[in-house]
Amino acid sequence: MPADTTPAQTRPAKAARKRPSAAQPAPEVTIVVPTFNERENIRPLTDLVEAALPGVAWELAFVDDDSPDGTAEEVRALALEDPRVRLIHRVGRRGLAGACIEGILSSISPLVAVMDADLQHDESKLAEMLAAFRADDTLDLVIGSRHAEGGSAGEGFSRLRAWGSEGATRLAKRLLRIEASDPMSGFFMVRRTSFNQVVLELQTQGFKILADMLSASRGKWKVAEVAYEFRARQHGQSKMDTAVALEFLGLLGARMTGGMVPIRFIMFVMVGFTGVFVQLAVVRFMLVFIPDHFAIAQSFGVLVAMTTNFMLNNALTYRDRTLRGGAFWRGLLSFYAVCLVGAVANVGVAESVYRILPLWALASFVGAVVGALWNFVVSALVTWRAR
Ligand code: GDD
Ligand code: MN
């Protein structure tokens, strides 16, 4: 989109918001709204928030990951009209959880809400959430819940998605020992000081910041719930997909290690396991045709497995910086090189361990772990280096 035609100039002027002449009062609550391709939703959402919080000093912080549809420009135009609206524009990065974290950290208000841009979350509940905090100094978090008495997810979800969401909720509650009725919700209000206590543990990759936060609070937070009805999306599309579901498994793993092992590493290892099966299948297949050439079959199996691993990691583990075009092929070659060195390290380490302690399974396992770590760390630095 050309930089000189802002959406505000190109669309029919709706009555511009009046910039209050007096200085803005410090906001009591910041509403953080992560956005990716939500241009059509920015103004309607702002109007709804304004109507939902009369007499409240609020601000809206949109966190946009450089959406191709020009969402950031739309927010800029709106912020020129209304100083309670501001923009955090991130480039070269993607990720819902990370966007929320940055938005929350950017706030100076004592309370921060997170809400989707697509009007699926019921903004009228913001007032109830705020009232709960005003009534209780010790409250840490209020969750907008689809599963509390009076809430529902009916309208907003397809059957398949509802089924997946239910399963994920049950998993999160069991594995992460979470008691809240809707840890998968993307709609909540948190006390900023409470958030700051757990922020260092949070995963920036992934979709489910609330589940991560609840788990990191280790049951010490005072949590309230406000029921809401999950509405159908009006404009644009959901960004939830299979990769998001896998990231969620990664989040469970990350939380079970107390936030120490990152989601990315867990996804890298999951992909690594698929590589083992690919390799076995290819070797088996090749041996049908060249039964006397095991070494060739094995080499070919390794090559194919490295290739599928690269493609899966590129599409899933690093889907926030997927390599395309020429970069794809350069990435593939560098991944081969990294894995080759990893294999040498694997064998070398396994051999040294075996010499000290002649237990083949242990030695082989240690070799595999060192090889996997090498592949992960070095491919992160070389193949998928951040910009
Ligand atoms: N900045 C940024 N970066 N924003 C993103 C990204 C990203 O990579 N991906 C998604 N968003 C924004 C969307 O623009 C939207 O405002 C919000 O995050 C939610 O994304 P959706 O794609 O609409 O997700 P959903 O409706 O399927 O699921 C949401 O609602 C559920 C119910 O509360 C999410 O918030 C889920 O986590 C939540 O369970
Ligand atoms: Mn949505």
- pLDDT above 80: residue 16: no
Of all protein residues, the one whose alpha carbon is nearest to atom 29 of ligand 1 is 186
- Rounded to an integer, what distance in angstroms lies between the CA atom of residue 366 and that of residue 188? 43
Cβ atoms of 126 and 53 within 8 Å: the answer is yes
Q: Where are the domains of the chain?
A: 20-237, 263-382
Q: Is 240 in the pocket of ligand 1 (CB under 6 A)?
A: yes
CA-CA-CA-CA torsion sign (96, 196, 143, 48): negative
**How far, in Å, from the CA of 307 to the mean position of ligand 1?**
31
**pLDDT surpasses 80 at 341:** yes
pLDDT above 60: residue 216: yes
Short-list 167, 63, 37, CA closest to 115: 63
DSSP state of 185: -
* Domain 20-237 class in CATH: alpha beta
- Judge if the beta carbon of residue 120 lies within 6 A of ligand 1: yes
**Is the minimum distance from the CB of 99 to ligand 1 under 6 angstroms?**
yes
117 Cα to the center of ligand 2, angstroms: 7
**What is the share, in percent, of the chain residues with pLDDT greater than 70?**
93
pLDDT of residue 377: 96
Dist. CA 73 → ligand 2 center (Å): 21
Give yes or no for residue 109 having a pLDDT over 50.
yes
86, 62 contact by CB (below 8 A): yes
> Does residue 225 surpass a pLDDT of 50?
yes
pLDDT at 13 over 80: no
Least Cα distance to 203 among 267, 141, 147 occurs for 267
Q: Which residue has the higher pLDDT, 197 or 244?
A: 197
- Give me the pLDDT at residue 21, please: 56
pLDDT at 155: 67
Q: Produce one character per residue of 4-38: b if its CB has 16 or more CB atoms within 10 Å, e if not.
A: eebbbeeeeeeeebeeeeeeeeebbbbbbbbbbbb
Which residue's CA is the closest to the ligand 1 atom numbered 15? 116
Report the chain's terminal Cα–Cα distance, integer Å: 22
Nearest to 192 by CA among 82, 61, 96: 61
Average the pLDDT over 119-138 and give the result.
Answer: 97
Q: CA-CA distance, 50 to 102, in Å (whole number)? A: 23
**Closest atom, ligand 1, to C-alpha of 118:** 16
List, in order, residues 6 or more apart from 324 with CB less than 8 Å away.
none
Q: Tell me, using a 6 A CB cutoff, whether residue 212 lines ligand 1.
A: no
Q: Which atom of ligand 1 is nearest to the CA of 116?
A: 16
Phi/psi for 36 (5° steps) reads -145, 110
- 286-326 confidence digits (pLDDT tens): 999 999 999 999 999 999 999 999 999 999 999 988 999 99
Cβ(322) to ligand 1 under 6 A?
Answer: no
Among 59-63, 72-76, 90-94, 132-136, where is mean pLDDT lowest?
90-94
CA of 207 relative to ligand 1 center, distance in Å: 7
The answer to whether the CB of 217 is under 6 A from ligand 1 is: no
Neighbours of ion ligand 2 (CB under 5 A): 116, 118, 120
pLDDT score, position 2: 44
The verdict on the CB of residue 114 being under 6 Å from ligand 1 is no
Per-residue model confidence (pLDDT) at position 15? 64
Most confident of 1-15, 59-73, 150-164: 59-73
Is a pLDDT exceeding 80 seen at residue 19?
A: no
Name the residue of 31, 32, 33, 36 to mutate for ligand 1: max ligand atoms within 8 A of Cβ.
Answer: 36
8 Å CB contact between 60 and 125: no
* Global confidence as pTM: 0.85
For residue 20, is pLDDT > 80? no
Counting ligands in written order, the one closest to the CA of 206 is 1
Counting ligands in written order, which one lies closest to the CA of residue 34?
1
Distance from the alpha carbon of residue 337 to the mean position of ligand 2, in angstroms: 41
Give, for 372, the enclosing helix (H) or strand (E): helix 360-381
- Say what the pLDDT of residue 6 is: 44
Calpha distance 103→350 (Å, rounded): 46
Q: What is the mean pLDDT of residues 341-368?
A: 94
**18 pLDDT band (50/70/90 cuts)?**
low
Report d(CA 166, CA 153) in Å as an integer: 10
Our mutation pick for probing the ligand 1 site, out of 35, 49, 96, counting the most ligand atoms within 8 A of Cβ, is: 96
Helical residues (DSSP H) of 231-359, grouped into ranges: 242-256, 263-289, 294-312, 326-356
